Structure formats: structure tokens, C-alpha cells
């Protein structure tokens, strides 16, 4: 993977974590007549939807109404949809109608177990879109805002700052930069998804970061496939759904993502109770027990895999059908801190993927790959080179260059420190 590819294919989301005005929503309730694939307390949603005119709705005359969006939640039985105003360069029209709807509250059309919520996307794409102003970094998805406006910056950090002033904890675009510096809360795959986002997610986990994992459609830029074709299940421990708890679950890594709608689920448990987003703490080297169940609303054949620190450590082929999940059970020895996740694979890559469960040994951070920390340090080297005077992306930074480069250098120092720690861990300690 060339470093530049990460820049244009990744989306990370900005999450508001505290003090928001989200009102307590209705309790969730599954639709009648459909077998739930997810256990109680998990809620399916699409965190990246537009109702405006653009992409595959470029010829549309009207923006979708809340009632139409609610109807569009039905095919994939979604509990949550984040409808995003375009704060950026106008790929989706008409921002002036969407931005005033951002209030921190669910839309009044929301119903029991069906939450419609207004938030924003910041999108000044350096490549691929023919608009005047462009910025390094591409997409930010801003969830949990209290108001929206159009603002332009040449790099993303000032937008994170703007969101923080609304009690938000922002994230993305120079993704490895803003994950390393604590701004990006999660990694998102969108449109049709691919393993590219997953590989970046693995590398970040191997460096000791814990971003959430999200999949969403970016409707209507997804060739008009239904809302939730890419979806995110979020676990809410008290099982009472609100938008705020749903996005906090994303930030805490309590997710399972799907690329084929609301049809299958992976139930990953470590030592009986730990699930995605949880951390198991071992005093010293020890063994953990892993149980994985793949459930499906219809009979399916396939392969499930258990991934540890980015490598497959157990696999099982078989079939899943309603009431009869395919199970994989194993035990694994942990001599040093690491992480576990599960995925259901098909020929195109992952169909479903869980967020990571963390296993900490002796309180040490995950330092499982020198190569991955080096990869990001070199990736940022390239970002610095390309955005410096004479670089291919130099044109994107005129006013903000010094501040942006300062941010990149800070992040590079973080990855270099992690790489050094991983090297000494490999040698058996400093």
C-alpha cells in the first residue's frame, strides 16, 4: 500500500464525548418477524448518510425528508442514522438547509428504536473533486455537534479544535497524525468498504492505539445501495439506546461492522465476558479462552478467522443459520500485551469484523510491530515532504503550512518513540 492511498481512502470520525445536548431517546426494539442476529444491547446504525443532492443523486430535484429517511432505515432495520450536512466544498447540496438542523438533539421524526440525528461532514478533498478550495486530509465526520457552519482550513486540526469547543473530541484525515496525537476517535470504512481501512486499523492497534472501528455507506455516494449496506453494530451496556451512547460506544471500540447489511453478526468473547472495546488485564504471562459465534439470518457457508496482532491465529469453515451459529473456540497464550479481533471472510475480503479486545500483560502497552510504527513514521515523512515547498501537495498549504507541519512532526516523533519501544521489547526489554 502506498502511503498516499491511506490519505485518500480513510475516513475517521470526530466524536463528541461529553456534555452534549442529546436527549434520552426511546428504548430500542427489534422489528416483528425478523430474527435478531445480534445479542440484546447491540444497536445497528449508519453513521454517514447524506440527504442532499449530489453523487448518485446529482439529478435529484428535492432533498430527502426526515420521513423518507426514516423509511430508508427499514430495509436494514437500523436503529440509528447520522444524517450529515456538508461543511465542506459542496459535493452534497444544499448545506445551507442542513446546517441549521444540527442542534445536538435527535430529529423530531425519530421513533421508538429509530433515531435520526443531524451532524456534519467536513470535506475539502485534495483529489478527485473539482472544487476550488482543497485541503490536505479529505474527510472528517463530525458526530455529536451542537451546531454546524461552513469553515475552511488547509489542514484538519483547526476543525478538531472547532469541534472541541462544542464539547466534541475530534478526529481524522491525516489519520495516523491525529490518532497519534489523540484527536481521531475512530477509523471508518465507507461506500463499499475494503480491507484497506482494516489494515490501517491493525497497524494502529499494533502501535498501541485504540481507535474505534466503523462502517457506513456515505449514501448517496454509494451507488444508491440501501442505508446500512455498510453498517455498525454498537454495544450499549445498559441496553438503553440514545444517540450519545451510540457514538460513545464507537469511541470506546464497542463495535462490530458489516459490509452486507443487517444479516450477520460475530459474537467475540474472551474469558467469557470481555467483548470488543474491553481490556483483560493479566498480571504476567497467561492463557485466555476465546469463543467466537458467527450468526446469520439465513443459511450461509463461510469462514471465520481469529486475528491476533494482525495475524490469523485460528480459523473455521462451516455454515451458520438462524439459531445455529458457527462456533470457534480456542485458548491462546499471552506473554506480552496484544489484541484480538474476529472476522468473517469472503472472496472480496472481510464481510463482518469485530472491534478489538485488548489483553494487557503486566500493564505494558501494545508494542507488537516495529514495522508498523516505522510505516507510519515514514508515511508522515512523505506527508511532510509532499506538503513542504516544492512538494506535490505544497499548493494545499499556503497560510497553514507551519502549523500543519508542526502537527505532522509531533506525530512522527510519537511513532518513532513507539518503534524504539517495540524494538527494545523485541530484544527482551530496555
Can you give the binding site for Zn ion, defined by CB under 5 A?
Answer: 121, 218
Q: 356 - beta bridge partners?
A: none
- Residue 49 CB, shortest distance to Zn ion, in Å, is 8
- Dist. CA 272–CA 270, nearest whole Å: 5
* Residue 141: CB minimum distance to Zn ion, A: 7
The residue (of 11 and 360) whose beta carbon lies closer to Zn ion is 11
Taking the complex as a whole, the smallest distance from the CB of residue 220 to Zn ion amounts, in Å, to 9
Strand partners, 282: 361
How far is 355 from 368, CA to CA, in rounded Å?
17
Backbone angles phi, psi at 97, to 5 degrees: -90, -30
Which CA distances in Å does 5 have to 2, 186, 260, 415?
Answer: 6, 18, 24, 19
C-alpha cell at 219: 449514501
Residue 289, beta-bridge partner list: 331
Closest to Zn ion by CB, 218 vs 267, is 218
CB-nearer residue toward Zn ion: 119 or 121? 121
Distance CA 346, CA 332 (A): 25
Shortest-Cβ-distance residue relative to Zn ion:
218
Min separation Cβ 50 and Zn ion, Å:
6
Closest distance between Zn ion and the C-beta of residue 190, in Å?
7
Task: Report the C-alpha gap between 194 and 372 in whole angstroms.
Answer: 19
Nearer to Zn ion, 230 or 373 (CB): 230
Smallest distance from the beta carbon of 20 to Zn ion, in angstroms?
21
Q: 50 and 218 in contact (C-beta within 8 Å)? A: yes
Say if residues 109 and 128 touch (Cβ distance below 8 Å).
no
CB of 312 to Zn ion, least distance (A): 32
Whether the CB-CB separation of 191 and 222 falls below 8 Å is answered with yes
The torsion angle over the Cα atoms of residues 309, 313, 319 and 321, rounded to 10 degrees, is -40
Compare residues 113 and 138 and give the one whose CB is closer to Zn ion: 138
Considering beta carbons, is residue 47 or 180 the nearer one to Zn ion?
A: 47
Please say which residue, 55 or 320, places its beta carbon nearer to Zn ion. 55
Amino acid at each position: 500500500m502506498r502511503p498516499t492511498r491511506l490519505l485518500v481512502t480513510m475516513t475517521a470520525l470526530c466524536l463528541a464525548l461529553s456534555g452534549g445536548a442529546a436527549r434520552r431517546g426511546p428504548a430500542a426494539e427489534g422489528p416483528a418477524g425478523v430474527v435478531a442476529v445480534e445479542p440484546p444491547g447491540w444497536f445497528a446504525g449508519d453513521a454517514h448518510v447524506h440527504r442532499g443532492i449530489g453523487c448518485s443523486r446529482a439529478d435529484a430535484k428535492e432533498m430527502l425528508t426526515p420521513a423518507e429517511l426514516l423509511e430508508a432505515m427499514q430495509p436494514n432495520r437500523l436503529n440509528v442514522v447520522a444524517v450529515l450536512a456538508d461543511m465542506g466544498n459542496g459535493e452534497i447540496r444544499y448545506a445551507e438547509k442542513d446546517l441549521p438542523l444540527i442542534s445536538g438533539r435527535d430529529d423530531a421524526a425519530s421513533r421508538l428504536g429509530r433515531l435520526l440525528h443531524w451532524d456534519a461532514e467536513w470535506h475539502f478533498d485534495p483529489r478527485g473533486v473539482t472544487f476550488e478550495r482543497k485541503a490536505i486530509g479529505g474527510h472528517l465526520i463530525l458526530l455529536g455537534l451542537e451546531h454546524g457552519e461552513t469553515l475552511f482550513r488547509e489542514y484538519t486540526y483547526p476543525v478538531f479544535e472547532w469541534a472541541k469547543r462544542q464539547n466534541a473530541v475530534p478526529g481524522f484525515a491525516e489519520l495516523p497524525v491525529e490518532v497519534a496525537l489523540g484527536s481521531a476517535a475512530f477509523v471508518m470504512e465507507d461506500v463499499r468498504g475494503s480491507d484497506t481501512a482494516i489494515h490501517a486499523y491493525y497497524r494502529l492497534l499494533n502501535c498501541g492505539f485504540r481507535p474505534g472501528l466503523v462502517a457506513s455507506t456515505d449514501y448517496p455516494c454509494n451507488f444508491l445501495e440501501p442505508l446500512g449496506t455498510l453498517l455498525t453494530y454498537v454495544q450499549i451496556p445498559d441496553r438503553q439506546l440514545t444517540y450519545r451512547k451510540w457514538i460513545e460506544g464507537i469511541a470506546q471500540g464497542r463495535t462490530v461492522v458489516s459490509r452486507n447489511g443487517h444479516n450477520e453478526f460475530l459474537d467475540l468473547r474472551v474469558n467469557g465476558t470481555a467483548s470488543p472495546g474491553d481490556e483483560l488485564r493479566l498480571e504476567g504471562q497467561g492463557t485466555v479462552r476465546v469463543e467466537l459465534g458467527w450468526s446469520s439470518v439465513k443459511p450461509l457457508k463461510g469462514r471465520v478467522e481469529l486475528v491476533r496482532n494482525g495475524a490469523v491465529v485460528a480459523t473455521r469453515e462451516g455454515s451458520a443459520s438462524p439459531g445455529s451459529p458457527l462456533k470457534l473456540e480456542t485458548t491462546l497464550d499471552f506473554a506480552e500485551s496484544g489484541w484480538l479481533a474476529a472476522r468473517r471472510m469472503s472472496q472480496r475480503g472481510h464481510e463482518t469484523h469485530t472491534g478489538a479486545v485488548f489483553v494487557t500483560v503486566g500493564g505494558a502497552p501494545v508494542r507488537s510491530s516495529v514495522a508498523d510504527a516505522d510505516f507510519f513514521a515514514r508515511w508522515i515523512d512523505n506527508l511532510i515532504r509532499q506538503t513542504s515547498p516544492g512538494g506535490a501537495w505544497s499548493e494545499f498549504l499556503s497560510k497553514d503550512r507551519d502549523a500543519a507541519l508542526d502537527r505532522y512532526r509531533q506525530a512522527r516523533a510519537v511513532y518513532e518513540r513507539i518503534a524504539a519501544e517495540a524494538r527494545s521489547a523485541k530484544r527482551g526489554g530496555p
